[in-house]
Amino acid sequence: MPFVYADNAATTAVTPAVLDAMLPYLTAQFGNPSSLYAFGQTAHRAVANARAQVAAAIGAKEKEIFFTSGGSEADNWAIKGAAAIGARHGKTHIVTTKIEHHAVLHTLDALKKQGFTVTYLDVYDNGVCRVEDVANAITDQTCLVTVMFANNEIGTIQPIAEIGALCRERGVVFHTDAVQAVGHVPINVEEMHIDLLSLSGHKLHAPKGVGALYCRTGVRLTNLIEGGGQEKGRRAGTENVAGIVGLGRAITDMVANMDTNEAKVRALRDQLFAGASKISHSRINGDLEHRLPGNFSMCFEGVEGESLLLLLDANGVCASSGSACTSGSLDPSHVLLAIGLPHEVAHGSLRLTLGEDNTEADVDHILDVLPQIIDRLRDMSPLWDHIMEREAGKKEAN
């Protein structure tokens, strides 16, 4: 049976080139970058080189890149750090959207318990927030605007450059969780007026457990992790040297191949949309234009998302109902509710996220099994019977 990995928004494979770059730092070159002898300095140089690679990939300066344990830590640091500085100036209001990742939303929940207030911007039915809403939400009390670059469930891309320009003009710190976007779409932190940006290795073919926070020169943040003097005293902990080297290599490769990858992945994704849209009572989630190239998200009425995933798995397809972090919970995704889907529709969601390794054969296999699986689930579904009866009733009434 074919094996099709179509969950690249959850995590990606480390490429052979990335693994090769990392291996020396897991074996012979195991020195501590903080050690003064030459052996440690080899590791130190490797970290410095990776810092330059990450900076170049997003148009930042090397000294503005701080390595972390991943996207979640970068989000926590950016938001808690900016909030703490804001509070010192009596500013305790934060603006965000309804569709952020839980690393952002749960961090904001923690801040609300400390007395911060949060405005959650609408994203309308296309999953994109509006710059004028951001402008209206900012007050004298606002210390931070945090809006994700691209959504992990429905792939929608937010108007980051416009929000950046607005925040700069209004003197408010602007953070973006760009974990899904870095390496996939062009990003320049200077041109986009971004103050803080989170990225993660394992969403772009580096290993899990490494990421970075870009912090623009002059933007003050309190530390999240205290200890040794690593990362210029701003993020303690002995560096994950091999992971950092892998991140540097992976991000460089992703940016170098962005155009080719994008064209390939987008074409496959559009084939999936075209094929799956033929299934009755289906709908595409989120804007088609402002969207990550590899993101497919649809809802199928009268289908229970978890059962759909299990049957896809039985047919060799790794898929998701939305975000990996919410699987296991029975609540529908906050993102699908935010774009106005009724609960029962949001329950029948399917996310397929394609990467550079996917092929036409993968798409063919998915489109081969998906309609049959949906038919089978609808045959067993009381909800589907109900939908059919309701429609029959409407026809009679006409």
Ligand X SMILES: *Cc1c(COP(=O)(O)O)cnc(C)c1O
Q: Tell me which residues are annotated as active site.
A: 325
Cβ 6 to ligand X shortest distance, Å? 16
Residues 6+ apart with CB under 8 A from 366: 4, 6, 272, 275, 312, 317, 352
Structure tokens at 80: 């808690």
Residue 107 is a binding residue for ligand X (CB under 6 A): no
In the bound state, the residue with its beta carbon closest to ligand X is 71
Q: Which residue has the tokens 């059962």?
A: 307
Residue 383 CA, distance from chain mean position: 32
Residue 200 is a binding residue for ligand X (CB under 6 A): yes
- Give yes or no for a contact between 141 and 171, defined as CB atoms under 8 angstroms apart: no
Interface pick for ligand X out of 70, 164, 332, 348 (rule CB under 6 A): 70
Cβ 180 to ligand X shortest distance, Å? 5
Residue 285 is a binding residue for ligand X (CB under 6 A): no
Residue 103 is a binding residue for ligand X (CB under 6 A): yes
Q: Which stretch binds ligand X (CB under 6 A): 12-20, 186-194, 199-207, 370-378?
A: 199-207
Cβ 371 to ligand X shortest distance, Å? 29
**What is the Cα–Cα distance from 22 to 245, expressed in whole angstroms?**
6
Residue 207 is a binding residue for ligand X (CB under 6 A): no
**What is the Cα–Cα distance from 321 to 312, expressed in whole angstroms?**
11
Residue 21 is a binding residue for ligand X (CB under 6 A): no
Residue 193 is a binding residue for ligand X (CB under 6 A): no
Beta partners for residue 90, in sequence order:
none
Q: Integer distance in angstroms from the first to the last C-alpha of the chain?
A: 48
Helix (H, G, I), strand (E, B) or coil at 320: strand
Other CB atoms within 10 A of residue 313 CB: 11
Question: Nearest-CA neighbor of 351 among 287, 292, 289, 285?
Answer: 285
Q: Rank residues 147 and 317 by Cβ distance to ligand X and give the closer one.
A: 147
Residue 148 is a binding residue for ligand X (CB under 6 A): yes
**What is the Cα–Cα distance from 29 to 37, expressed in whole angstroms?**
13
Q: Rank residues 10 and 60 by Cβ distance to ligand X and give the closer one.
A: 10
Residue 243 is a binding residue for ligand X (CB under 6 A): no
Interface pick for ligand X out of 175, 203, 235, 378 (rule CB under 6 A): 203
Interface pick for ligand X out of 18, 47, 65, 71 (rule CB under 6 A): 71
Cβ 339 to ligand X shortest distance, Å? 16
Cβ 25 to ligand X shortest distance, Å? 20
Structure tokens at 99: 């569709």
Residue 72 is a binding residue for ligand X (CB under 6 A): yes
Structure tokens at 276: 């799956």
Q: How many residues bind ligand X (CB under 6 A)?
A: 15
Residue 180 is a binding residue for ligand X (CB under 6 A): yes
**What is the Cα–Cα distance from 349 to 304, expressed in whole angstroms?**
8
Residue 179 is a binding residue for ligand X (CB under 6 A): yes
Cβ 375 to ligand X shortest distance, Å? 32
**What is the Cα–Cα distance from 145 to 95, expressed in whole angstroms?**
5
Q: Rank residues 156 and 261 by Cβ distance to ligand X and give the closer one.
A: 156
Cβ 182 to ligand X shortest distance, Å? 10
Q: Which residue has the tokens 């989170």?
A: 198
Q: Rank residues 69 and 252 by Cβ distance to ligand X and give the closer one.
A: 69
Q: Rank residues 76 and 358 by Cβ distance to ligand X and give the closer one.
A: 76
**What is the Cα–Cα distance from 85 to 144, expressed in whole angstroms?**
10
Structure tokens at 33: 């970058």
Burial class (CB in 10 A: 0-12, 13-18, 19+), 217: exposed
Residue 295 is a binding residue for ligand X (CB under 6 A): no
Residue 146 is a binding residue for ligand X (CB under 6 A): no
Write out the residues near ligand X by the rule CB under 6 A.
70-72, 75, 101, 103, 148, 152, 177, 179-180, 200, 202-203, 211
